[in-house]
Amino acid sequence: MLKLEPRAQASVFWRYASPLLALLITICIGVLLFTALGKDPIKGLGVFFWEPIKSVYALSELLVKATPLLLIALGLAVCFRSNIWNIGAEGQFVMGAVFAAGVAIQADASSSQIYWVWVLIAGTLGGMFWAALTAALRDWFNASEILVSLMLVYVAIMILNFLVFGPWKDPLGYNFPQTKTFETLAQIPKLIPGTRVNVGVILTLLGIAGLWTFLFRTHAGFAQQVGGLAPHAARFAGFSSRRALWLALLCSGASAGLAGALEVAGPLRQLTPFVPVGYGFAAIIVVFVGRLHPIGIVFSALLMSMFYIGGELAQSRLGMPKSLTGVFQGLLLFSLLACDTLMMYKLVWKAKALVAHPLTMKGVA
């Protein structure tokens, strides 16, 4: 029989190398998948790993995709390091987009030149509000934050659909379920002319530096991590579990809400039913592939963005379903889980012990 036995000590090398091995396994399975579907595997891998980086414009689109993933993942890293399982970042992303759109559609030609700042603030507050519902139910009623945050995703999507199909629908939009296009003053300023890269990239870089400083250079960040690793030790040291809960969820909600605001006031420029594209769920994979570290999350988010772009290109150029993006994301996650399992445990062959039957033993006697 094959059994898993804990290793005496996990390899430090494989702790950081296993994501690379998981990526290699994902690529190998991808080659088999393309071959089984009758597609050229070289072209298939090319649309995923070469097309997103082959030109300046392609790199700019990669940054556009990576920005919301990075922001959401940074907030989730605080939660997961605190042992708080916020699975509903997608809902906080959607509500951030809704709050931001509610402010953006109020803009007109007489609005301030920095009106977009208020749009971003509204989105951030929207995400915090939605995360606060999860925190309150966990704090006051001990409800599972996994179930509550996940269920709130679907509530957020229903609120979004109600607004774009109802009171916020553009009367001049030919009956399409969408708001009017935001005024220029309510749109996020672009950084590079001719591309869709906006100031969200700068905010994301600040978020990376802020998270690294918070986790590794502040007392509050230390308290969050101790609470996640050893709750009893945290209580003995006087660290508040309630404070850790609220801080983690509010930080996560704020980053997801800001990502939603950047999405609707940046590339989309309006609120539509297609805002929820799965960034909140993909960011969970980003966090764990990046080992919950700000620097690792950067590379992981860029990789996940390549999967998004590659899935779109595979649909248009190779005639494959867009769901291929989710297939590659799932392959990466399961490959990483398998690698991590073998990093912590070893496979041991043990012969199955033979148990003598009582009647046989009686006959022998």
User: How many domains in the chain?
Assistant: 1
For residue 249, give both structure tokens.
């969820």
* CA 249 to centroid of chain Cα atoms: 14
Q: Does residue 313 sit within a domain?
A: yes
Confidence grade of residue 35 (pLDDT, cut at 50, 70, 90): very high
Q: pLDDT category, 335, cuts 50, 70, 90?
A: very high
| Structural domain contains residue 19 | no
Distance (Å, rounded) from C-alpha 321 to C-alpha 37? 11
At what angle are helices 219-229 and 241-263 packed, to 10 degrees? Answer: 110
Q: How far apart are CA 268 and CA 142, in angstroms?
A: 38
pLDDT at 360: 53
Range of the domain at 139: 40-319
What is the C-alpha separation between 263 and 254, in angstroms, rounded?
Answer: 14
Secondary structure class of 111 (helix, strand, coil): coil
- 246-298 residue pLDDT tens: 999 999 999 999 999 999 999 999 999 999 999 999 999 999 999 999 999 99
Residue 341: inside a domain, yes or no?
Answer: no
The predicted structure's pLDDT at residue 359: 54
In a domain, 186, yes or no: yes
Instruction: Note whether residue 345 is domain-resident.
Output: no
3-state SS record for 42-97 = HHHHHHHHCHHHCCHHHHHHHHHHHHHHHHHHHHHHHHHHCCCCCCCHHHHHHHHH
- Res 317: pLDDT: 87
| 132 CB burial (10 A radius; 0-12, 13-18, 19+) | middle
User: How confident is the model over 337-363, as pLDDT tens digits?
Assistant: 999 888 888 888 877 655 555 555 555
The conformational region for residue 149 under phi > 0 = left, psi -120 to 50 = alpha, else beta, is alpha
Domain-embedded: residue 176: yes
**pLDDT tens-digit series, residues 55-97:** 999 999 999 999 999 999 999 999 999 999 999 999 999 999 9
pLDDT confidence of residue 343:
87
Please report whether residue 357 resides in a domain: no
- Give the pLDDT band of residue 319 (cuts 50, 70, 90): confident
Taking residues 161-188, what's their average pLDDT? Answer: 94
Identify the CATH number of the domain in which residue 160 sits: 1.10.3470
Q: Which of the 8 DSSP states describes residue 183?
A: P
